[in-house]
Amino acid sequence: MSRTRTVALPKDIYRQALVSAFKKLDPRVMMKNPVMFVVEVGFVITLLLTIFPGLFGGASDALYNGVVTLILFVTILFANFAEALAEGRGKAQAASLKKTKQDTKARKVAKDGSIQVVSSTELRKGDIVVVDAGELIPSDGEITQGVASVDESAITGESAPVIKEAGGDFSSVTGGTRVVSDSIRVRVTTDPGESFLDRMISLVEGAKRQKTPNEIALGTLLVSLTLIFVIVCTTLSPIAAYVHAAIPIATLVALLVCLIPTTIGGLLSAIGIAGMDRVTQFNVIAMSGKAVEASGDINTIILDKTGTITFGNRMAAEFMPVGQATQEVLNKMAAKSSIYDETPEGRSIIELAKKLGVDAKEFELPGSEGVEFKAETRMSGTDLADGTTIRKGAVDAIKQYVASQGGSIPTDLEEKAAKIATAGGTPLAVAAGANIFGLIYLKDTVKPGMRERFEELRRMGIRTVMCTGDNPLTAATIAREAGVDDFVAEAKPEDKIALIRNEQAEGKLVAMTGDGTNDAPALAQADVGLAMNSGTIAAKEAANMVDLDSDPTKIIEVVAIGKQLLMTRGALTTFSIANDVAKYFAIIPAMFMLAIPQMSALNIMGLATPQSAILSALIFNAIIIPILIPLAMKGVKYSPMSATKLLSRNLVIYGLGGIAVPFVAIKLIDLVLVGLNLV
């Protein structure tokens, strides 16, 4: 189960949001939201009419103007409050992160090798610092020397420390985390103000939040609708004069405010900020709102097998000799091939060899050198002092290696490898020089519930592809057990990029997870790249999201959050536009009933008077914004289903509901106004 970051909101967050709502009344701020800026202009006009009733020629009802002014002011305030509340929650999260960020002392290694104690703010890219047990890591960087246990709870919330070591995919460290044991040397990779923590704080505060393409497109639509209704309301006055009907300016302003999409206009920014906030609460840092939004439109998810679909703790279960090799010789060769292999797989091979009776002297190889695993060769091993080369790795890679040495391939190699692969295991071939001695049977286990999760994605219309370095038989078995839609076996880094590009060429959006430097190109190519916090700096820089918990399966939740964001925006837009239908039936008949009695036929709600109809619609228009704030902040409840079903459900709930609710609410407000003799 993935864990969300819970940040306690300050008790005075609502008071701060209210203060901020008043500050946002500044026209320079309001202009960023054209819909609400039009409402503010209307507020100023009716305010002037309240103070100077005859300002624009002719007498007007100052009390009526004053009531309209008050309602418009409250409408603007509610819209500003919604945005301020969303921003306030982000600032509360940022405050908790700022507690982690502090100016610490760093022990910098000078050019002459001496140690200088400096402030962390003086560190620059390329500097080397020494961090001992109990000390805070002063800046983001990569370990260049040593192995240490690091407490990352300040960033991830997880109390269990993690092992970090020089080289490999677990060498990156984050400033503000604490070394629990041992000593390490770290090369600083960021300048002051550019650290991962700095970027997190800036993002959750919303200070640098840019509008997403969909948000910009919707904003353009809202501005267009607003402009259309401004023109409509401006032309109503001469039309009314033509039929000898006088329409007060305050009524025209009220009509305009009710016609333009004020509900979604007031909540649009809050929806975007809250969407980023929900991702952050899930312990995922999105580098942009665009990344969150793109995750909601994902068509294909590319997942690594090891550690994502399976537990990734492949352990040696059996040594299987091939050809003329004996079990005893294979046991020794398997052990020697893994002497320098510090991975869990390598350690499990050594443990199995010991259990099978391999003598301790076989593990003493003076003058030998280890050969690290490389994605290009897909092999690792040991070079002995006498020139013998021992290798273990993928079966086809070992076959090519042995062939290059002039050796032959045992006839039963493929059969036994297929047997292991069919059982869902991973076969590793073991060779010394030009001879293949046998296979190592590595077992891995599919995580429970993965089939159900992939079925959930399938209902969402998302295709899942598993990438693995395993041979096709093993890959097919794991893919079948896990329930993915497709798989790519014996995958190299360039294969992942090619797969992503092929999907994108078909017009699809692609998401993938990764943690290694070799994943960086593919993470950068993907529309949504989720890097693990435990991974390399290169992977985190290339991705547009970072998972602080380093849980590769969280991409599934990220997609759900993205879809929820799009659903929330779509649902409230539908509700807002549907609201206008009911408001038309309230205000338009009220405007013309006195001059054109036949217009009363459109007063299907039976509203008492023209003034009560206008005020009821205007009051509803104001109070619906705060009522919808919790929905905008929390998001519409998401259930996996096809786009067609989703659209149908939203049209029924938020389309028909958006029409029905105002009819009922406006009538009830009218009854209250009449009952209190306010009109």
Tens-place pLDDT, residues 6-17: 444 455 777 888
List pLDDT tens digits, range 398-432.
999 999 988 889 999 999 998 888 877 889 999 99
5 pLDDT above the threshold of 60: no
Distances (CA, A) of 45 to 22, 55, 250: 19, 10, 8
Residue 345 annotated as binding site: yes
Q: What pLDDT band is residue 242 in, cutting at 50, 70 and 90?
A: confident
| Helix, coil or strand: residue 187 | strand
295 pLDDT above the threshold of 90: no
Residue 376 annotated as binding site: yes
List helix spans (H) across 144-186: 153-156
Instruction: Tell me the mean pLDDT in the region 371-392.
Output: 88
Residue 183 annotated as binding site: no
- Asked whether the whole model's pTM tops 0.75, one would answer no
Given a contact cutoff of 8 angstroms between Cβ atoms, the answer to whether 248 and 61 are in contact is: yes
- Model pLDDT, residue 7: 44
- Model pLDDT, residue 4: 45
- More confident site: 77 or 175: 77
- Reading across the β-sheet that carries 162-165, which strands appear in turn? 162-165, 147-151, 178-181
The CA distance from 187 to 128, in Å, is 5
Q: Which of 277, 304, 527, 670 is catalytic?
A: 304
Residue 199 annotated as binding site: no
Size (the chain), residues: 679
139 pLDDT above the threshold of 70: yes
| Helix, coil or strand: residue 306 | strand
Instruction: Tell me the mean pLDDT in the region 503-513.
Output: 90
Rg (CA), the chain: 33
| Helix, coil or strand: residue 428 | strand
- More confident site: 281 or 563: 563
304 is a catalytic site residue? yes
List helix spans (H) across 436-554: 450-459, 472-482, 493-505, 520-525, 537-542
Residue 444 annotated as binding site: no
Residue 554 annotated as binding site: no
The residue type found at 605 is M
- φ, ψ of residue 396 in degrees (nearest 5): -70, -30
- Give the lowest-confidence range in 15-24, 102-111, 261-270, 294-303: 102-111
Please report, to the nearest 10 degrees, the dihedral formed by the alpha carbons of residues 607, 611, 616, 617 taken in order.
100
Parallel, antiparallel or unpaired: strands 315-321 and 435-443? antiparallel
- More confident site: 12 or 18: 18
- More confident site: 176 or 675: 675
Residue 128 pairs with which residues in a beta bridge? Answer: 187
Please report, to the nearest 10 degrees, the dihedral formed by the alpha carbons of residues 129, 133, 139, 144 taken in order.
50
> What is the C-alpha end-to-end distance of the chain, expressed in Å?
57
State the sign of the Cα–Cα–Cα–Cα dihedral 643, 644, 645, 650.
Answer: positive
- Model pLDDT, residue 2: 43
- More confident site: 220 or 645: 220
101 pLDDT above the threshold of 60: no
Residue 377 annotated as binding site: yes
- Model pLDDT, residue 273: 74
Residue 125 annotated as binding site: no
List pLDDT tens digits, range 331-353.
999 999 999 988 778 888 999 99
Q: Is 515 exposed, middle or buried (0-12, 13-18, 19+ CB in 10 A)?
A: buried
Three-state DSSP string of 197-261: HHHHHHHHHCCCCCCCHHHHHHHHHHHHHHHHHHHHHHHHHHHHHHCCCCCCHHHHHHHHHHHCC
**Largest pairwise CA distance in the chain:** 111
Residue 12 annotated as binding site: no
32 pLDDT above the threshold of 50: yes
- 167-171, 174-178, 450-454: range with highest mean pLDDT: 450-454
Instruction: Tell me the mean pLDDT in the region 174-202.
Output: 78
- Model pLDDT, residue 56: 66
- Model pLDDT, residue 606: 82
Percent of the chain predicted with pLDDT > 70: 88
Q: What pLDDT band is residue 208 in, cutting at 50, 70 and 90?
A: very low
Of the candidates 23, 38, 124, the one whose C-alpha atom is nearest the C-alpha of residue 77 is 23
108 pLDDT above the threshold of 50: yes
Residue 26 annotated as binding site: no
- Model pLDDT, residue 352: 92
The CA distance from 391 to 382, in Å, is 7
- Model pLDDT, residue 272: 75
- Model pLDDT, residue 96: 58
- Model pLDDT, residue 38: 93
- Average pLDDT along the chain: 82
Residue 31 annotated as binding site: no
- Model pLDDT, residue 476: 85
Q: Which domains does the chain have, with CATH numbers?
A: 11-92+204-280+559-676 (no CATH), 124-191 (2.70.150.10), 296-309+447-548 (3.40.50.1000), 313-445 (3.40.1110.10)
Residue 379 annotated as binding site: yes
- φ, ψ of residue 59 in degrees (nearest 5): -80, 150
CB neighbours of residue 397 within 10 Å: 20
Instruction: Tell me the mean pLDDT in the region 153-171.
Output: 67
